[in-house]
Amino acid sequence: MLLKYLFFIFLVALLVIFADFTRRKGFDNLKIYRTIENNRIVEGETFEMTMVLENNKRLPLFFLAIEEKIPSGLKYGTEATIFKEGNDIWHVSKYSVKWHERKKRIYTLVGAQRGAYLIKNMRINLGDIFGFSASTKEKEDYIEILVYPKIHGINKYEFDITNFQGEDAVRRWVHKDPLFIKGIREYNVEDRMKDIHWKSSLKMNKLMVKDYDYTSERELVIILNIQCGDPYWTNIQNDAIDSGARIAASLAAKALKEGIPTGLWTNAQLVTFDTKAPNEIQPAMNNFSSIMEMCARVDLAIKCDFNEYLTSRLQYFNPNCTYVIISPYFNEKDINVITKIRRNGYRLKLIDVSLKSNLPSIDGVEKIVYKGGVK
């Protein structure tokens, strides 16, 4: 009886020693990494991420739990075990792996919000078969996900006026060719004095101007301002910034489709992890992917105040280009710089994306107001 008892104690001790040994040696020749087929998606689109485990040794892993830190702009599209740690969300997956075994597990995630995200942090927990002890190891496995803003037809956005209605909306709104006069129309605040047709004005007893034909020879630059107040760090408005990025992307898509060389400038910090992304994309016909990437990378922080940014770009303004400023906020310095640009003869348009539709008007510059919806 005593021998049986001693044998049982010996067997249990042997199992405990073996379990502890497999735990201590569990990280040896253990490879854990993630793969993704497509890291560029549009808001609301799903994508698959694959967790790969390779246990390249003769010892099994009885208990393996992997905790992954997931950025808040990404959501799990499949049933998952998650927990919160402060403001961070962690996903937990559990495994048992045999010796010399390779396992895969596929997860579905959703790009819930525009942005550039880095999935990197993992905590790997190895436990013994009895659950008496565990070892933890931190690991960084870098995967960048770009979530592009969702594009809508520009005439689907709810503006206070109907400038964007119709198939040739962008062409009619921003491009005119001074070489081809197609008629005479009534003067409005955005017209140049030199375009006034004085003979018709005297006859009609009101100012009339020459109406030029449209052309695709002119260029378009969209200037996205993300500064929402002074100082900027106390006035960050996520919705206004996201609306500006979506409208910029949609306007660029429409303009490029109509054959108009299009570029994008911004005073935003750009979220990048391996390379330094430029804040300016010059007008060209092959810019769609670059503009979409910039709109995804636009951060909530500014690189500099908007008036400073415009001042730094003054030497690059082109008289053959139309500039569309998308902004949630102007201060007096901004207005002064924009007025100076207009007086220098450059063609400007304003799109108000402020949450209260209160972007100040500027003399001689047409403004439209985004009402916050999509039809």
Q: What is the pLDDT of residues 215-274, one digit of tens each?
A: 545 789 999 999 999 998 899 999 999 999 999 999 999 889 888 899 999 999 999 877
pLDDT the model gives residue 166: 39
| Residues in contact with 17: Cβ distance below 8 Å, sequence separation at least 6, in sequence order | none
pLDDT the model gives residue 289: 94
Rounded Cα–Cα distance for residues 348 and 366 (Å): 7
Going from the N-terminus, what domains does the chain have, and what CATH number goes with each? Answer: 27-148 (2.60.40.10), 154-175+214-374 (3.40.50), 181-213 (no CATH)
pLDDT the model gives residue 203: 83
> CA-CA distances (angstroms) from residue 127 to 29, 85, 135, 154?
16, 21, 6, 55
Rounded Cα–Cα distance for residues 223 and 323 (Å): 7
CB atoms within 10 A of CB 188: 10
pTM comes to 0.80
Distance of CA 171 to the CA centre of its chain: 26
Interval 186-231: pLDDT, tens: 887 667 777 888 888 888 888 888 876 555 457 899 999 999 999 9
CA angle 154, 309, 256 (to 5 degrees): 30
pLDDT the model gives residue 216: 46
Judge contact between 166 and 154, C-beta under 8 A: no
Ranges under pLDDT 70 in the chain: 1-23, 78-79, 129-133, 161-182, 189-190, 212-217, 275
- Region label for 253, one of left (φ > 0), alpha (ψ between -120 and 50) or beta (otherwise): alpha
pLDDT the model gives residue 167: 42
Residue located via tokens 């979409």: 292
pLDDT the model gives residue 294: 96
Rounded Cα–Cα distance for residues 364 and 351 (Å): 14
Which residue in 68, 64, 127 sits closest to 96, CA to CA?
Answer: 64
Rounded Cα–Cα distance for residues 66 and 134 (Å): 13
pLDDT the model gives residue 169: 45
Rounded Cα–Cα distance for residues 70 and 93 (Å): 13
